[in-house]
Amino acid sequence: MSEDLLRQVVVELNQAPEAANRTARATALVTDVNTRIATEALRAMPFDTSPYAYQAWLAQADRS
Amino acid sequence: MQVTQIAALDLSALAKAIADGEVTSVEATAVALNRLVSIGHKLNAVVRLDNARAMDAAAAADKLRASGAALPPLHGVPLAHKDLFYRAGDLSGGGSRIRADFRADVTSTAIARLDAAGALDLGRLQLAEFAMSPTGFNESLGHARNPWNPAHVPGGSSSGSGVAVAARLVTASLGTDTGGSLRHPGAMCGLIGLKPTWGLVPIDGVMPLSASLDCAGPLTRTAKDAASILSVIAGRDYLKGIDTGIAGLRIAVPGGYYRELLHPQIATALDEAVKTLTSLGTVVSETTPPDMTLINALMQLVMSVEAATIHRRWLIERPQDYADQVRARIEPGLYYPATRYVEALSLRAQLAEAWITACIGDADLALLPAISIPVPTIAATTEGNPADVAGVIGRLTHCTRGINYLGLPAASVPCGFDNADLPIAFQLVGRPYCEAIMLRAAHAYQSATDWHHRVPAAAELN
């Protein structure tokens, strides 16, 4: 993700202009994390998974 | 009983002494308040105390005991907690300038359960600003100091809780853990820091950092004390069977990632701990962790997105009221697409299963370092080259932060001291809801070792 795009996101969508001044220090981290997770999701996330699957898995694990 | 004798009691012993009438709640509470004021303020561990209310509650507890009524398990025991736990009508600052004047209108369920169990609430303890630092860093309120050596960090974010229990100011304290914030002060102050399975302990009425990762739990000197507190705040019995030993228990020791940054002194202490556990009848095996870079990235995204959602208004209106180190950890959450966040949550169950298969395998528990490096100085985590400071902070969470994304229960267990006489700990991690097994293993280990009996000079008991 380019720094310009990230600045636009914090200014226009998150309305946080001060954050835009500090964008440079977040760019490498955000780009790396985005790439890793996007790649893994394409590779390993089942089509019909859900953000609530974790709670269901936990409930199944609770045998007390 | 003398003041120093009362202060030396752990939670189980103090609760029993009060129940048996050997110590009154008024005596125990006066000792705790005096020590919180004198030693606690020296170590910058205390945010606020309510002496009058605490002494009134202690007198009421003694009156109830004298009446012959049945007593709850923590009857009359004085405690104090991280300043994130709300009590209706009281200030709750979250270690921040921004919330310095915030008064809660609810009482957290965890605190209400301790109230119902008879515990007394003396006040609130120091923490990292908005619970955002593994060292306890707090620019606006000042850094809490490690009782083993005040030039060193106590670990955070539940820094005051760790300091207060290690320095024998109170016998137990509630903290929270989003990326290691119970296990860091546990490891660095020589305590059990128990992060329960995500969701086991209610976190309503606790200022959130990241709802998908936050866990509330105890810091105590012993595993048995941790079991006592967890039994109350989780509403399940963790004391049952804690004394039954660990013969035949299987413990896996993951290598790879978890050994990458390991300091030789910590490696030696961990190896000795494994030998002790083996001598107690456990069967030890070696395992290989999966790609932790991915799990750490997922944790970072979930934490920063959820934190940025909560903090966005303040990031817009009061950015100057955050310490730069804190704001720098929240702001990346403003940049991630929503699809990444949903993916991060959606991948959670399968990655937790994969981690358990790889790291625990056929065993009951995994044993990891709690922190991989010796306890750093405050200077090393606040001064000098920002990249060096960030490096130290990153290394501190190397073995802890991923566990929060996985939501698994984990606990720091003290297992020695380094050459600078600062504590070393291992970390036990288990499958969801295996807190009873974890506490049984930690209790057996503590029954065979004396690390948890050592007292820091700052406790002023010698």
Q: Which residue of B has its CA nearest to A61?
A: B432
For residue B157, say if its preceding peptide bond is cis, omega within 30 degrees of 0: yes
Q: How many helices (H) and strands (E) does chain A have?
A: 4, 0
Is B38 known to be catalytic?
no
Cβ-Cβ contacts under 8 Å, B408 against chain A: none
Q: How many residues are listed for chain A in this entry?
A: 64
A residues 41-60 closer than 8 Å to B (CB): 41, 44-45, 49-51, 53-58
Of A29, A58, A63, the CB nearest to B407: A58
Report in angstroms the alpha-carbon separations of B407 from A4, A58, B45, B59: 35, 9, 28, 41
Of A10, A30, A51, the CB nearest to B342: A51
Question: If you count residue pairs, one on A and one on B, with CB atoms under 8 Å apart, how many are there?
Answer: 109
Report in angstroms the alpha-carbon separations of B262 from B176, B183, B307, B445: 25, 17, 30, 22
Environment class of B290 (CB within 10 Å of its CB; exposed 0-12, middle 13-18, buried 19+) = middle
Question: Greatest CA span in chain B, whole angstroms?
Answer: 62
Q: What is the pLDDT of residue A64?
A: 63
Is B157 known to be catalytic?
yes
Q: What is the pLDDT of residue B325?
A: 87
ipTM of the complex: 0.97
Can you read off the two tokens belonging to residue B260?
Answer: 């990458």
What pTM was estimated for this model as a whole?
0.97
For residue B211, which of B178, B169, B171 has the smallest C-alpha distance? B178
> Which string of DSSP letters, residue by residue, matches B320-350?
GGS-HHHHHHHGGGGTS-HHHHHHHHHTHHH
Q: Which residue of A has its CA nearest to B387?
A: A25
Q: Which H or E run includes B406?
A: helix B401-406
Question: Greatest CA span in chain A, whole angstroms?
Answer: 52
Q: Alpha helices of B154-237 — where are they, by DSSP H?
A: 159-166, 183-189, 223-234
Q: Average pLDDT for residues A14-38, to the nearest whole number?
A: 94
Q: Alpha helices of B38-148 — where are they, by DSSP H?
A: 41-42, 51-66, 109-116
Is B82 known to be catalytic?
yes
Per the CB < 8 Å rule, is B334 touching A36?
Answer: no
Of A33, A36, A62, the CB nearest to B433: A62
Say if strands B365-369 and B250-254 run parallel, antiparallel, or are unpaired: parallel
Q: Alpha helices of B125-200 — where are they, by DSSP H?
A: 159-166, 183-189
Environment class of B139 (CB within 10 Å of its CB; exposed 0-12, middle 13-18, buried 19+) = middle
Q: Which of B12, B96, B181, B372 is catalytic?
A: B181
Can you read off the two tokens belonging to residue B192?
Answer: 């059990």
Per the CB < 8 Å rule, is A58 touching B337?
Answer: no
Per the CB < 8 Å rule, is B236 touching A50?
Answer: no
Q: Which residue of B has its CA nearest to A13?
A: B334
Of A15, A45, A49, the CB nearest to B316: A15
Can you read off the two tokens belonging to residue B271?
Answer: 């190896």
Computed on alpha carbons and rounded to an integer, the radius of gyration of chain A in Å comes to 17
Cα B266 off chain centre by: 20
For residue B38, say if its preceding peptide bond is cis, omega within 30 degrees of 0: no
> Which string of DSSP letters, residue by residue, matches B6-65?
HHH--HHHHHHHHHHTSS-HHHHHHHHHHHIIIIIHHTT-EEEE-HHHHHHHHHHHHHHH
- At residue B39's C-alpha, the angle toward residues B38 and B43, to 5°, is 125
Q: What is the mean pLDDT of each run of 10 residues along chain B (462 residues)?
A: 95 98 98 98 98 98 97 98 98 97 98 98 98 94 96 97 98 98 98 98 98 98 98 98 97 97 97 98 98 97 98 94 92 97 98 98 98 96 86 94 98 98 98 98 98 96 81
Classify domain B3-293+344-459 at the CATH superfamily level: Amidase signature (AS) domain (3.90.1300.10)
d(CA B305, CA B299): 10
The DSSP call for residue B210 is -
Spell out the domain ranges in chain A: 3-62
